[in-house]
Amino acid sequence: MDTHIVQDGENPVLRSVAKEVPKEMFGTPELTTILKRMSAALRVAKNGVAIAAPQIGEPWRIFLVSGFVITGNPRNDDDPDKVFINPSMVRQSKERVAYEGEGCLSVVGMYGTTQRSMRAMVRAQDEAGKKFIRGGSDLLAAIFQHERDHLEGTRFVDHATDLHKAKDESEVAEL
C-alpha cells in the first residue's frame, strides 16, 4: 500500500481547499481505499498523531486521528484510528495556549510554536456516513485545529513562530 505523505511543494493539493465528501461516496471502495491509505501512512510516520487526506494527495475533507490519541493508551497498532469526514468546528474555547513543538507530516523535521484554542469540538461523519460530535482538549484540540487548517489549504508553518529544525524529535508531535 502506498504510504507516501505529500511534502510541502510536491502537490498543490496541500494549498487547496478540500472538497466535501458527497453522500454517494460513503460505502464505496474508493472511500475505503483512501481511509486505508491514510491509516497506513499515519502508522509508518514516526511521530505522527493525525493525518488529513490532502497529505496523501487526496482532495477530500477527511482526517484521521491515531487510535492511541483517542484511547489514551500507549502508541500501538491495536487501537483503530478515528475517522472524521466532512468535519466542521462546532466550538473552540476562547482560551488559547502556546502549543510548542508542533510539527507536520508534510513539513518533516520543522517544528514551531502555534497559538491554539485549549478546547475544541468537531462535528463530522464516520466512514458509514453517520454524524457525530467529538470534543477534545490539549493535544486533541490542537489536532482538530491543525487538521482543519490542512483542509483549508493552510500549513502550520504559515502561522507558527520559533520555527526550527528539531534536535530531539522525541518531544514533538507531527500532525
68-74 long-range contacts, CB within 8 A, separation 24+ = 69/139, 69/140, 69/143, 70/140
Phi-psi region of 87 (alpha: psi -120 to 50; beta: other; left: phi over 0): beta
Distance separating alpha carbons of residues 31 and 128, to the nearest angstrom: 10
Q: How many CB atoms lie within 10 A of CB 138?
A: 12
- Which of 58, 102, 147, 174 is labelled catalytic? 147
Cell of 137: 482538549
Distance spanning both ends of the chain, measured CA to CA: 21
Strands 173-174 and 96-103: parallel
Q: For residue 11, what are the contacts with CB-CB under 8 A and spacing of at least 6? A: 57
147 is catalytic: yes
Residues with catalytic annotation? 147
